[in-house]
């Protein structure tokens, strides 16, 4: 592995090449016009680049909405390394900056600073670092507000609506849904010096709040797509009736428990209703948070543990995935331990709880199965559980909740 080329994170970002801008518009605007995007701009009058653009992250269409929202300006986008696969030249030339997910990275801060100070550009950041699993906002890193304080540039929030409903990460079939976005300058340049890091953090977290199912229901957006609940059991893996985990299944407009057979139907407006008996969670995100609370109880009781045989792939650069064969993955209150073989060398990766505030997961990634990824500064390992099924959502909950617990303990010890 030492002989393999690793991604060059030191190469300076650039402004988008002029001949690529029309292509970006051609790829973005027909979709935006077809979906009748409405952008509500607040406190944006007179604001010109450079500034930091923070955006919610729902689906690939996010980039098209962002293109329209900042028109006629262009931006340097923070993009995960898997987005660079087989298109590094293109992404570098449209101004993209590469990042490995859920790693602390001082080089990234330098690249952002260069884009703001030298290129005088907008820098677009999707700090949730993964598509929303259930149409609600995810945990954000504390380092985000510290970075904003250091960089001393205005901060704009782009809170998008309809993107998740168009193509939820658990079912990538497209639905035709109207799009909207709120684009708000939440921190002016003059406020940077006067606001504390905690105050900046509070503003950012408040601006990131969204609930796509509530937005759909409140705006009476009808989605009559026949497979609207297919694969919903990926994020909703636990039965709220019998409480068994990893027993759910789904198809068409229904989700059901294979153990107690309780069944729920998703209506045209994203609400659930039990076919018989009580409907525990008509609002889908409430079911999701019920699962999180259940995992938190297991962690606090000391009973949480995940172990499984896994397939491992490596992504040291943008040339593609390298199969490493089988290994073992363990996750508990002490974090992750991944063991395997790496070209005749023993692979052992340890990720302590405080090294990761969140976890990137994928459902049926390239038809190879559900996976999670763990990164170092030089490599990203894509890990596919082989024995346990439909477990990656629970792993993402566990990473977040263990981080919260350990972070609280650390603060109390100071």
Tell me the pLDDT tens digit for each residue of 240-278. 999 999 999 999 999 999 999 999 999 999 999 999 999
Indicate if 182 and 236 belong to the same structural domain: no
The whole-number average pLDDT for the span 383-410 is 96
Indicate if 47 and 133 belong to the same structural domain: yes
Judged against a pLDDT cut of 70, whether residue 73 lies above it is answered with yes
Would residue 16 count as lying in a domain? no
Indicate if 131 and 242 belong to the same structural domain: no
Would residue 378 count as lying in a domain? yes
Q: What's the pLDDT score for residue 2? A: 55
Indicate if 194 and 175 belong to the same structural domain: yes
Indicate if 208 and 73 belong to the same structural domain: yes
CATH of the domain at 204: 3.40.1130.10
Judged against a pLDDT cut of 80, whether residue 329 lies above it is answered with yes
Q: What is the pLDDT of residues 161-171, one digit of tens each?
A: 999 999 999 99
> Which helix H or strand E contains 249, and what residues bound it?
strand 248-251
Q: Choose among 115, 11, 85, 6: nearest CA to 377.
A: 6
Indicate if 328 and 247 belong to the same structural domain: no
Number of domains in the chain: 3
Give the Cα separation of 262 and 160 in Å (integer): 34
Q: What's the pLDDT score for residue 167? A: 97
Indicate if 181 and 255 belong to the same structural domain: no
How far apart, in Å, are the Cα atoms of 14 and each of 115, 118, 226? 8, 10, 44
The whole-number average pLDDT for the span 352-378 is 96
Judged against a pLDDT cut of 60, whether residue 366 lies above it is answered with yes
Q: What is the pLDDT of residues 301-311, one digit of tens each?
A: 999 999 999 99
Give the Cα separation of 127 and 146 in Å (integer): 13
- Phi, then psi, of 181 in degrees rounded to 5: -155, 145
Would residue 11 count as lying in a domain? no
Indicate if 211 and 327 belong to the same structural domain: no
Could you tell me the pLDDT band of residue 320, with boundaries at 50, 70 and 90? very high
Among 279, 303, 327, identify where a domain stops.
303
Domain interval for residue 313: 306-413
pTM over 0.85, yes/no: yes
Could you tell me the pLDDT band of residue 345, with boundaries at 50, 70 and 90? confident
Indicate if 338 and 379 belong to the same structural domain: yes
Would residue 250 count as lying in a domain? yes
Judged against a pLDDT cut of 90, whether residue 283 lies above it is answered with yes
Indicate if 297 and 374 belong to the same structural domain: no
CATH of the domain at 316: 2.30.29.30
Could you tell me the pLDDT band of residue 3, with boundaries at 50, 70 and 90? low
Indicate if 38 and 58 belong to the same structural domain: yes
Q: What's the pLDDT score for residue 104? A: 80
Q: What is the pLDDT of residues 75-88, one digit of tens each?
A: 999 999 999 999 99
Would residue 51 count as lying in a domain? yes
Among 303, 336, 351, identify where a domain stops.
303
The whole-number average pLDDT for the span 36-50 is 97
Indicate if 203 and 279 belong to the same structural domain: no
Mean pLDDT over the full length of the chain: 95
Would residue 5 count as lying in a domain? no
């Amino acid at each position: 592995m030492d002989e393999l080329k690793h991604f060059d994170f030191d190469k300076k970002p650039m402004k988008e090449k002029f001949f690529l801008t029309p292509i970006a518009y051609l790829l973005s605007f027909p979709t935006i016009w077809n979906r009748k995007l409405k952008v509500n701009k607040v406190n944006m009058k007179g604001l010109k680049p450079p500034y930091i653009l923070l955006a919610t992250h729902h689906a690939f269409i996010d980039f098209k909405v962002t293109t329209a929202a900042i028109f006629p300006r262009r931006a340097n986008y923070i993009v995960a390394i898997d987005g660079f696969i087989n298109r590094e030249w293109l992404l570098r030339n449209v101004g993209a900056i590469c990042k490995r997910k859920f790693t602390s990275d001082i080089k990234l801060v330098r690249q952002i600073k260069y884009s703001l100070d030298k290129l005088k550009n907008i820098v677009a950041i999707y700090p949730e670092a993964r598509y929303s699993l259930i149409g609600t906002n995810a945990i954000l890193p504390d380092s985000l507000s510290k970075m904003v304080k250091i960089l001393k540039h205005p901060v704009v929030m782009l809170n998008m609506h309809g993107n998740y409903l168009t193509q939820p990460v658990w079912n990538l079939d497209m639905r035709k849904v109207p799009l909207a976005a709120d684009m708000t300058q939440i921190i002016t340049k003059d406020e940077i010096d006067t606001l504390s890091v905690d105050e900046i953090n509070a503003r950012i977290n408040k601006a990131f709040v969204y609930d796509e199912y509530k937005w759909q229901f409140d705006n009476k957006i009808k989605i009559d797509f026949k497979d609207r609940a297919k694969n919903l059991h990926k994020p909703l893996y636990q039965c709220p009736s019998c409480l068994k985990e990893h027993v759910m299944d789904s198809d068409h407009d229904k989700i059901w428990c294979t153990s107690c057979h309780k069944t729920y139907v998703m209506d045209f407006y994203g609400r659930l209703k039990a076919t018989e008996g009580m409907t525990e969670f008509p609002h889908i995100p409430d079911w999701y948070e019920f699962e999180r609370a259940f995992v938190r109880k297991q962690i606090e009781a000391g009973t949480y543990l995940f172990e499984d045989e896994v397939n491992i792939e490596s992504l040291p650069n943008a040339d593609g995935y390298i199969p490493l064969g089988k290994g073992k993955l363990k996750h508990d209150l002490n974090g992750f331990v991944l063991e395997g073989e790496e070209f005749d060398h023993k692979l052992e990766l340890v990720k302590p709880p405080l090294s990761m505030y969140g976890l990137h997961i994928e459902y049926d990634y390239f038809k190879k199965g559900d996976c999670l990824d763990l990164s170092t500064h030089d490599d990203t390992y894509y890990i596919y559980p082989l024995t346990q099924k439909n477990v990656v959502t629970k792993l993402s909950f566990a990473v977040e909740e263990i981080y919260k617990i350990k972070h609280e303990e650390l603060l109390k010890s100071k």
